[in-house]
Chain A
Amino acid sequence: MSAGLDITDVSATAGGESILNGVTMRALPGSLTGLIGPNGAGKSTLLRATLGLVPTTSGTITFVGNDLPAMPRRNRARVAAFVEQIGANEAQLTAREVVMLGRIPFQSVWQAEPSPEDEQIVTEAIAAVDMSGFEHRQYNTMSGGEQQRLQIARALAQQPRLLLLDEPTNHLDVHAQLTALNLLRTRAQSGATVLLALHDLNLAAAFCDALVVLHQGRVVAQGAPQDVLTPALLRTVYNVDATLVSHPTSGRPMIAYNLPA
C-alpha cells in the first residue's frame, strides 16, 4: 500500500472512443506532480476519473490504499478536492460564499450557519490566494484570474490530503501563476498529494517534483522533470523542436523552442 495516489492500468471510453488506455501512474505525498500532454491527451479525463466523475472500464485508483472512485462521496470530499477548468457562471454569491462551499462536506444538515472554525479556515484560504480584500465582491463580476484563485481557495478550504487541479494557472497573470504554484508546492511540502494538469512546460519544469506525460490516452513518460523533458519526447508528443537548457540559478530544465525558419 502506498501513501499517495496510485493509478493502475486505468482505461476509460467516451462516445465509443478509447480515451484512456492502461494508464499507470503515481503521485506521492509531499510532492507536486505535474500532468502534461497535448490537447486531447486525456488529462482532464484522468483527473475526473480519479474522483469517480467519469466511469473507468478497467484498472484501480487508490489513495492511501482506499478505492477513491468507490468511496462514499462525503468521505471522499473530505479527503480530495478538485479545481476544474472554469467556465462562465451566473451565481449570485460573494467571493467568500464561494470559498465557503468548500466547507459543505464538513457541515451537518442541521447547522444553519457556518461554525467559527469554518469561518477561520475560509479566511485563511482566501488569504492564501491573496484575495483578502475581495471577500464581499460578487463572484460573477470578478475576472477570470480572480475566479480561478477563489476556486483554488475553495479547494483549500476542504483541507484536502489529495488536491487535483485542472490547468489552475491558465487565466492567471505571471505573478499570480508563480504565487499559485508556489502555494501548491507549499501545500505539497506540508504533506498533501498534489496532482495538476499544466500546459506551460516551463512552469511545470520549474515547480513540479515529478511529471507524468500523457499522450493519446497513454502514459509515455514519468519521473523527475530533467529526466522526462527531452528533445526527443517533445518532438514525439508535442511535435515541436526544442533545446533544453538549465536555469542559471535553480538548475531546473528550461525549454527553448526552436522556431521553424
Chain B
Amino acid sequence: MTSAAASKRPRLITLSVALGLLLAGSIIFAVTFGPADIAPLEVWQTIAHHLGLIADSPVGRLRNAIIWELRLPRVLVAAGVGAGLALCGAVMQALTRNPLADPYLLGLSSGASLGAVAFLLAGAALYMPIGAFLGAAGAMLLTLLVTRLLGGATPSRAILAGIAISSLAAAATSFLIFWSATGDSYREILSWLMGSLSGSVWSDAGIVIVATLFVGLPVLLSGRSLDAFVFGDAAAATLGVDVARLRWLLLAATALLTGVLVSIGGAIGFVGLIVPHIVRLVTGSRHRLLLPISMLVGASFMIWTDTAARSLFAPRELPVGIITALIGAPIFLLVLLRYRRAT
C-alpha cells in the first residue's frame, strides 16, 4: 500500500542518486571545456590523486595545474552558487506564497551587491561577504516593508517593490563605483556585478560550498514545516508550526546565503526562480523533496551555464548572469502568465 501510494511521485532517494550522478558527471565534463584539451579520464585521475585515492597520477604537472587550480575551483563555485540560489528561491517562494519570489527579483541580490561594493571600496575586501549579507538583509526588509505599504502581499506587489528596491540599490552601487573606482577595478567590478564566476579560486569554492551546506542543512530539515504554509499562515499554525519564528529564521538564512553567493559570484539572476519551478513539475510542492532536488538541479544547471559563458565566445567570456537571464526571463514570463490566468 505504501509503495502504491508513493509510486505517483519519484522517491527522494532515487532522484537524489540519479541527480547526484548527473552532478558528478557535470563536474568532470565541465572541467574538460577550455582552451587546453583535457580528457574526462584525466580530470578523474587528477581529482582522485588529490583526494588520495590513487598514489600516482599519470597527468602531467601543467595539466594537473590547469585542472586542479584553474578549472575545478570554478566548476565547484558554480555548483555551490547554483545549489544555493535554487534553495533560496524555493524557500522564498514557499514563505511568501509567491511563485515569482527569488533573491534577484525581490532585490536581495542588488542589496548584496551594494553591501559588497561598499565594503570593497572602503578597503575591507576581506569582509565583503558580511557587507553583502547586510545589504541583502536590508534590501529584503525594505522590500517586505514596501510590499506592505502597497497594501499587502500579492506576488505582483512584491515584484514591484523588489524592482524599486533593486533599482535603488543598483543606483547607489553605480554611484559608489563612479566616485571611487579606477579604470581596471571598474571593469572588473562591472563584470562581477552582472554575475560572473571568472577568477574563482579554491577559497571561493570553500566559502560557497560551506555556506550552502551550513545554511542548507537546517533549511532542508524545515521542509515539512514549509509544506504547512501552502494554505496560509493560520493553517500552518494549526499544524503546529511556529509561523513567525520559522519565517524570520528562514528569511535570515536566505539573506545570509544570498549575501555569501553574491559576494563571490555577483548578482546572478533567475536561477532561484526557474530551477524550483522546473523541479516542481516532477516533484510537486512537497519541500522535503523539492528543496534537495532543486539544489542538485541548480548545481548542474549553473555548472553548464557557466561553462557556456566561458566557452561560447572563447577567448572572450560572457558574464554568466547574461546567460541565466536569457534563459530565465522567458520562463519568468511564462510563470507570470500562468499565475495571472489562475487567479
Other-chain residue from B8, B12, B235, B239 in contact with A105 (beta carbon distance below 8 A): B239
Other-chain residue from A51, A78, A93 in contact with B230 (beta carbon distance below 8 A): A93
A93 touching B286 by the CB < 8 A rule? Answer: yes
Q: Mark A82-118, 1 if CB is under 8 A from B, else 0.
A: 1010101111111011100110110101101100100
A107 touching B224 by the CB < 8 A rule? Answer: yes
Closest beta carbon of chain A to B64's beta carbon, Å: 40
A77 touching B240 by the CB < 8 A rule? Answer: yes
Other-chain residue from A78, A97, A136 in contact with B286 (beta carbon distance below 8 A): A97
Whole-angstrom CA separation of A74 from B225 in the bound complex: 11
A98 contacts across to B, CB distance below 8 A:
230
Closest beta carbon of chain B to A9's beta carbon, Å: 24
Q: Mark B1-31, 1 if CB is under 8 A from A, else 0.
A: 1100110110110000000000000000000
Question: B233 — nearest CB in chain A belongs to which residue?
Answer: A53
Other-chain residue from B1, B11, B12, B238 in contact with A123 (beta carbon distance below 8 A): B1
The interface of chain B, by Cβ under 8 A from chain A, is 1-2, 5-6, 8-9, 11-12, 97, 99, 221-222, 224-225, 227-228, 230-232, 234-235, 237-242, 280, 284-286, 288, 339, 342-343
Question: B285 — nearest CB in chain A belongs to which residue?
Answer: A92
A235: interface (CB < 8 Å): no
B230 contacts across to A, CB distance below 8 A:
89, 91, 93, 98, 101
Whole-angstrom CA separation of A96 from B285 in the bound complex: 12
Whole-angstrom CA separation of A46 from B285 in the bound complex: 32
Whole-angstrom CA separation of A135 from B1 in the bound complex: 13
Whole-angstrom CA separation of A74 from B231 in the bound complex: 17
The interface of chain A, by Cβ under 8 A from chain B, is 48, 51-53, 73-78, 80-82, 84, 86, 88-94, 96-98, 101-102, 104-105, 107, 109-110, 112-113, 116, 119-120, 122-123, 135-136, 140, 151, 158
**A82, A86, A112 — which one has the most chain B CB atoms within 10 A of its CB?**
A112
A102 touching B221 by the CB < 8 A rule? Answer: no
Question: B286 — nearest CB in chain A belongs to which residue?
Answer: A97
B97 contacts across to A, CB distance below 8 A:
90
A82 touching B238 by the CB < 8 A rule? Answer: yes
B234 touching A90 by the CB < 8 A rule? Answer: no
B280 contacts across to A, CB distance below 8 A:
92
Beyond A84-B235, A113-B6, whether A97 also contacts B339 by CB under 8 A is no
Question: B277 — nearest CB in chain A belongs to which residue?
Answer: A92
A104 touching B99 by the CB < 8 A rule? Answer: no
Whole-angstrom CA separation of A152 from B9 in the bound complex: 23
B228 contacts across to A, CB distance below 8 A:
101, 104
Whole-angstrom CA separation of A134 from B5 in the bound complex: 12
B242 touching A73 by the CB < 8 A rule? Answer: yes
B8 contacts across to A, CB distance below 8 A:
94, 136
19 examples of A-B residue contacts, CB within 8 angstroms:
A51-B237, A53-B238, A84-B232, A84-B234, A84-B235, A88-B342, A89-B231, A93-B285, A97-B285, A102-B239, A104-B224, A104-B225, A104-B239, A112-B288, A113-B6, A119-B1, A119-B2, A123-B1, A158-B239
